[in-house]
Amino acid sequence: MVHTAKDGRKSKPEVEPVESAASSPLSRAAEEIFELTKISWLLRSRRRRKNALDLTETEFLTLDMVAREESHTVGQLRKAVGVLPAQMSRILRSLERRGDKSLIRCAINPADRRRIDVAITEAGRKAHNAFRDSRVSMSLETLSHLPPQDVREFMRIVEKIRGLMLPQLQKEEPDEE
Protein backbone atom coordinates (compact mmCIF):
# COMPACT_ATOMS: atom_id res chain seq x y z
CA MET A 1 0.00 0.00 0.00
CA VAL A 2 1.42 3.40 -1.00
CA HIS A 3 0.46 6.79 0.45
CA THR A 4 0.93 10.21 -1.08
CA ALA A 5 2.44 12.80 1.25
CA LYS A 6 1.41 16.48 1.19
CA ASP A 7 4.49 17.30 -0.85
CA GLY A 8 3.45 14.77 -3.53
CA ARG A 9 6.05 12.13 -2.66
CA LYS A 10 4.92 8.53 -2.47
CA SER A 11 5.74 6.58 0.67
CA LYS A 12 4.85 3.40 2.47
CA PRO A 13 2.94 3.74 5.74
CA GLU A 14 5.03 3.27 8.88
CA VAL A 15 2.95 0.27 9.91
CA GLU A 16 1.49 -2.11 7.40
CA PRO A 17 -2.03 -3.28 8.28
CA VAL A 18 -2.20 -6.85 9.48
CA GLU A 19 -3.88 -8.66 6.63
CA SER A 20 -4.10 -11.96 8.48
CA ALA A 21 -6.13 -10.42 11.33
CA ALA A 22 -9.40 -11.46 9.69
CA SER A 23 -8.06 -14.85 8.64
CA SER A 24 -8.62 -16.75 11.87
CA PRO A 25 -10.58 -16.43 15.11
CA LEU A 26 -7.30 -16.62 17.03
CA SER A 27 -5.85 -13.66 15.11
CA ARG A 28 -9.05 -11.67 15.57
CA ALA A 29 -8.98 -12.41 19.32
CA ALA A 30 -5.35 -11.25 19.54
CA GLU A 31 -6.24 -8.06 17.66
CA GLU A 32 -9.18 -7.42 20.02
CA ILE A 33 -6.94 -7.90 23.06
CA PHE A 34 -4.51 -5.39 21.57
CA GLU A 35 -7.33 -2.93 20.89
CA LEU A 36 -8.58 -3.30 24.49
CA THR A 37 -5.05 -2.69 25.73
CA LYS A 38 -4.82 0.53 23.70
CA ILE A 39 -8.19 1.73 25.04
CA SER A 40 -7.01 0.97 28.57
CA TRP A 41 -3.79 2.94 27.96
CA LEU A 42 -5.77 5.91 26.69
CA LEU A 43 -8.15 5.85 29.66
CA ARG A 44 -5.23 5.67 32.10
CA SER A 45 -3.42 8.46 30.29
CA ARG A 46 -6.45 10.74 30.42
CA ARG A 47 -7.13 9.96 34.07
CA ARG A 48 -3.46 10.41 34.96
CA ARG A 49 -3.62 14.04 33.81
CA LYS A 50 -6.40 14.64 36.33
CA ASN A 51 -4.54 13.03 39.23
CA ALA A 52 -1.09 14.44 39.96
CA LEU A 53 -0.26 11.55 42.31
CA ASP A 54 -1.05 8.84 39.76
CA LEU A 55 1.74 6.39 38.98
CA THR A 56 3.17 5.17 35.69
CA GLU A 57 3.07 1.43 35.09
CA THR A 58 6.78 0.99 35.87
CA GLU A 59 6.46 3.10 39.02
CA PHE A 60 3.55 0.94 40.15
CA LEU A 61 5.39 -2.32 39.35
CA THR A 62 8.36 -1.08 41.37
CA LEU A 63 6.17 0.04 44.27
CA ASP A 64 4.23 -3.24 44.09
CA MET A 65 7.44 -5.26 44.46
CA VAL A 66 8.55 -3.18 47.44
CA ALA A 67 5.07 -3.39 49.01
CA ARG A 68 5.13 -7.20 48.88
CA GLU A 69 8.39 -7.64 50.79
CA GLU A 70 10.16 -5.67 53.48
CA SER A 71 13.08 -4.48 51.35
CA HIS A 72 14.70 -4.90 47.94
CA THR A 73 17.98 -3.75 46.51
CA VAL A 74 17.96 -1.43 43.51
CA GLY A 75 19.47 -4.22 41.40
CA GLN A 76 16.74 -6.70 42.35
CA LEU A 77 14.05 -4.18 41.47
CA ARG A 78 15.69 -3.28 38.17
CA LYS A 79 15.91 -6.91 37.09
CA ALA A 80 12.39 -7.78 38.24
CA VAL A 81 10.77 -4.79 36.51
CA GLY A 82 12.98 -5.29 33.44
CA VAL A 83 14.37 -1.81 32.94
CA LEU A 84 17.84 -0.39 32.35
CA PRO A 85 19.84 1.01 35.30
CA ALA A 86 19.26 4.65 34.22
CA GLN A 87 15.51 4.01 33.93
CA MET A 88 15.41 2.47 37.41
CA SER A 89 17.26 5.50 38.79
CA ARG A 90 14.59 7.80 37.29
CA ILE A 91 11.77 5.61 38.63
CA LEU A 92 13.24 5.61 42.15
CA ARG A 93 13.88 9.36 42.09
CA SER A 94 10.29 9.92 41.01
CA LEU A 95 8.96 7.70 43.80
CA GLU A 96 11.20 9.43 46.35
CA ARG A 97 10.06 12.90 45.29
CA ARG A 98 6.36 12.30 44.60
CA GLY A 99 4.44 15.41 45.57
CA ASP A 100 5.18 16.42 49.13
CA LYS A 101 5.58 12.82 50.34
CA SER A 102 8.16 10.19 49.59
CA LEU A 103 6.63 6.87 48.52
CA ILE A 104 9.85 4.93 49.09
CA ARG A 105 12.92 5.21 51.28
CA CYS A 106 16.39 4.38 49.93
CA ALA A 107 19.26 3.58 52.28
CA ILE A 108 22.75 2.13 51.97
CA ASN A 109 22.74 -1.56 52.86
CA PRO A 110 24.61 -1.90 56.20
CA ALA A 111 26.00 -5.35 55.30
CA ASP A 112 27.14 -4.37 51.80
CA ARG A 113 27.69 -0.64 51.39
CA ARG A 114 27.78 -1.03 47.58
CA ARG A 115 24.06 -1.83 47.58
CA ILE A 116 21.08 0.42 48.18
CA ASP A 117 18.00 -0.98 49.92
CA VAL A 118 14.57 0.30 48.93
CA ALA A 119 11.58 0.17 51.29
CA ILE A 120 8.03 1.47 51.04
CA THR A 121 6.79 4.33 53.23
CA GLU A 122 3.28 4.70 54.64
CA ALA A 123 2.53 7.27 51.92
CA GLY A 124 3.83 4.75 49.39
CA ARG A 125 1.53 2.05 50.72
CA LYS A 126 -1.43 4.43 50.43
CA ALA A 127 -0.46 5.41 46.87
CA HIS A 128 0.00 1.73 45.95
CA ASN A 129 -3.46 0.84 47.27
CA ALA A 130 -5.08 3.88 45.64
CA PHE A 131 -3.54 3.04 42.24
CA ARG A 132 -4.64 -0.59 42.48
CA ASP A 133 -8.15 0.36 43.64
CA SER A 134 -8.45 2.85 40.77
CA ARG A 135 -7.53 0.21 38.16
CA VAL A 136 -9.81 -2.40 39.71
CA SER A 137 -12.71 0.06 39.82
CA MET A 138 -12.15 0.86 36.13
CA SER A 139 -12.58 -2.85 35.34
CA LEU A 140 -15.54 -3.18 37.71
CA GLU A 141 -17.24 -0.26 36.00
CA THR A 142 -16.89 -1.97 32.62
CA LEU A 143 -17.75 -5.49 33.78
CA SER A 144 -20.85 -4.32 35.67
CA HIS A 145 -22.59 -3.85 32.31
CA LEU A 146 -22.27 -7.54 31.45
CA PRO A 147 -24.83 -10.18 32.45
CA PRO A 148 -23.65 -12.53 35.24
CA GLN A 149 -23.30 -15.46 32.85
CA ASP A 150 -20.93 -13.43 30.62
CA VAL A 151 -18.88 -12.41 33.67
CA ARG A 152 -18.52 -16.07 34.71
CA GLU A 153 -17.49 -17.08 31.19
CA PHE A 154 -15.07 -14.16 30.98
CA MET A 155 -13.51 -15.15 34.32
CA ARG A 156 -13.16 -18.77 33.20
CA ILE A 157 -11.27 -17.64 30.09
CA VAL A 158 -9.17 -15.00 31.86
CA GLU A 159 -8.07 -17.53 34.49
CA LYS A 160 -6.99 -19.91 31.71
CA ILE A 161 -5.06 -17.16 29.93
CA ARG A 162 -3.39 -16.12 33.19
CA GLY A 163 -2.41 -19.73 33.78
CA LEU A 164 -0.83 -19.85 30.32
CA MET A 165 1.01 -16.54 30.81
CA LEU A 166 2.52 -17.25 34.25
CA PRO A 167 4.94 -19.92 32.98
CA GLN A 168 6.09 -17.46 30.28
CA LEU A 169 6.75 -14.86 32.97
CA GLN A 170 8.61 -17.37 35.14
CA LYS A 171 10.67 -18.53 32.13
CA GLU A 172 11.78 -14.94 31.60
CA GLU A 173 12.27 -14.34 35.33
CA PRO A 174 15.46 -12.37 35.99
CA ASP A 175 18.39 -13.82 37.86
CA GLU A 176 18.69 -12.75 41.48
CA GLU A 177 21.66 -10.64 42.49
Dump pLDDT digits (tens) for 83-92.
Answer: 999 999 999 9
In sequence order, the 6+-apart residues with CB closer than 8 A to the CB of 20 are 27
Tell me which of 6 and 161 has the higher pLDDT.
Answer: 161
Q: What's the pTM value of the predicted model, to 2 decimals?
A: 0.72
In the chain, where the domains are located: 54-138
**134 touches 142 (CB < 8 A):** no
Domain 54-138 part of CATH 1.10.10.10: yes
Give the mean model confidence (pLDDT) for residues 8-17. Answer: 51
Residue 16: the pLDDT is: 46
CA atoms within 13 A on the CB side of 173: 8
Quickly state the pLDDT bin for 15 (edges 50, 70, 90): very low
- Average pLDDT rounded to a whole number, residues 5-27: 60
